[in-house]
Chain A
């Protein structure tokens, strides 16, 4: 937890105390969170007694096998899905009631999430339209596109771009809102290994520049360990957070050096042990 504690101390909210002591200091905090789907055969509990919090500026990964309810949990944090009655979920100290200003989402499926009839620029501008004057909007769109390296593709349509570039457009669309928190749902899951590595590094750099809190859902152990300050393992049925691992690796991270670091390997080892245990 030393990394996250250091980050929260650096951040604008700058708390000296431990994150757990003042709930107002958390980006997100939840306890006793559960979700039940009503099926014909009766209620199906997907998440049970999920409790965690993340500090401002922290990079937290939620890791788990497919179908454990990772996306469900992220949708709850995004305010797109209501948790079961009695669950406690707060965003920046206030109970979460719906999508919050200051929270932006990057969805898993870029193809269905981008508006194919709008140019890249107009896709990125979508959330600013009607809220920010045209001149400032253009400036912010330029800055966001620059941050993801798509400055020269603004007038193209999404379907003219590769998968990796389309996902960058989605990231730019989120960044242009200047979010304090980025929620990412397996954003690199559909990309090839090389593009994935490249985008991971870009994400870390963007996060460094913006200071945003990131909650990152993935089923890729290496990705979770490589990117995060903290990894939460979600497993079981109904799923709960079974393990929490602090990732104490130096920044900036490097695809080669970090992944050869003995502590990277040992954290990776523990995560695999946990996942293996969960399956037995």
Chain B
């Protein structure tokens, strides 16, 4: 009658272990950037770079340090990140609700899917001039654009995720006489979650891009405007500092999102890892 007698050791076998080589693997990825930066610095120092307006890595570093000390760079990134994250949260929420409705209701799907297909095929960037006219040169304009670009991947992935609820789970929900809300929160959303995560990541990088573009062509604030400004004042080192840091911010946001997923939804993360492990 003890469970342990049935199949001892399944617990240990079920948990995937990482090989030590994989744990240090991220260090290998640093080799190429370090070599490239060193080569770049060397070429610049030797005068071998044909473009005068390309600064050396050291110049970029100096410029990043002084921009940080003056408070300009943190302020610009704060503005852009606020617009990007606020828009992303709003857009993702709208997208999730729309996706659930599209996935659960045949009627909603029939009436709205054509519109969704048209709207999401229009490049979000094309809406920026319209957003500037409607919301003027404001943070709201940036948020609206960032939200718009986040809606579509989340809506479509949630919709397909919702459709993945199995008949076995529908039977289970019916036999337990679960309420509609309980079905959505306990079966539908968890089923859709892995697909939604992919979309949330897409949406987040899209929101960052669009927030910066909106600042370049619309609202004179944040990272986008700083880039334009540095260009007009012929400060290439500043421009490079902003661009490279934007890349770092994008990577950090993505990593944070993955970490949150692993922490907040351990069951999914572990189940996926196990599935991949079995496939090996």
B1 within 8 Å of A (CB atoms): yes
B190 within 8 Å of A (CB atoms): yes
Interface residues of A in 194-230 (CB under 8 A from B): 195, 198, 202
A151 to B2, CA, bound (A): 9
A88 → B minimal CB distance (Å): 22
Chain B 180-206 per-residue mask, 1 if CB under 8 angstroms from chain A, else 0: 001000110010010000000000000
Interface residues of A in 104-132 (CB under 8 A from B): 104-105, 107, 109, 112-113, 115-119, 126-127, 129-130
Residues of B within 8 A of A (CB-CB), count:
32
| B6 pairs with A78, CB closer than 8 A | no
Residues of B close to A161: CB separation below 8 A = 10
| B271 pairs with A149, CB closer than 8 A | no
A-B contacts, CB under 8 A, total: 90
| B270 pairs with A157, CB closer than 8 A | yes
Stretch at the interface among A13-21, A162-170, A256-264: A162-170
| B175 pairs with A129, CB closer than 8 A | no
| B176 pairs with A177, CB closer than 8 A | yes
Residues of A within 8 A of B (CB-CB), count:
41
Q: Is the interface of B mostly helix, strand, loop or mixed?
A: helix
| With A113-B168, A117-B271, A202-B1: A130-B182 Cβ-Cβ less than 8 Å | yes
B264 → A minimal CB distance (Å): 12
Chain A 24-57 per-residue mask, 1 if CB under 8 angstroms from chain B, else 0: 0000000000000000000000000000000000
A191 to B186, CA, bound (A): 28
| A126 pairs with B176, CB closer than 8 A | yes
Q: Give 14 A-B contacts (CB < 8 Å), ordered by A residue.
A: A78-B171, A99-B175, A105-B171, A112-B168, A113-B169, A126-B172, A126-B186, A127-B176, A152-B4, A157-B271, A160-B14, A160-B15, A161-B10, A195-B6
Can you name 20 extra interface pairs (CB under 8 A) apart from A105-B175, A156-B11? A79-B175, A80-B174, A98-B174, A99-B174, A101-B177, A107-B168, A107-B171, A112-B169, A115-B186, A115-B190, A117-B267, A126-B176, A153-B11, A157-B14, A159-B14, A162-B10, A165-B6, A168-B3, A195-B6, A202-B1
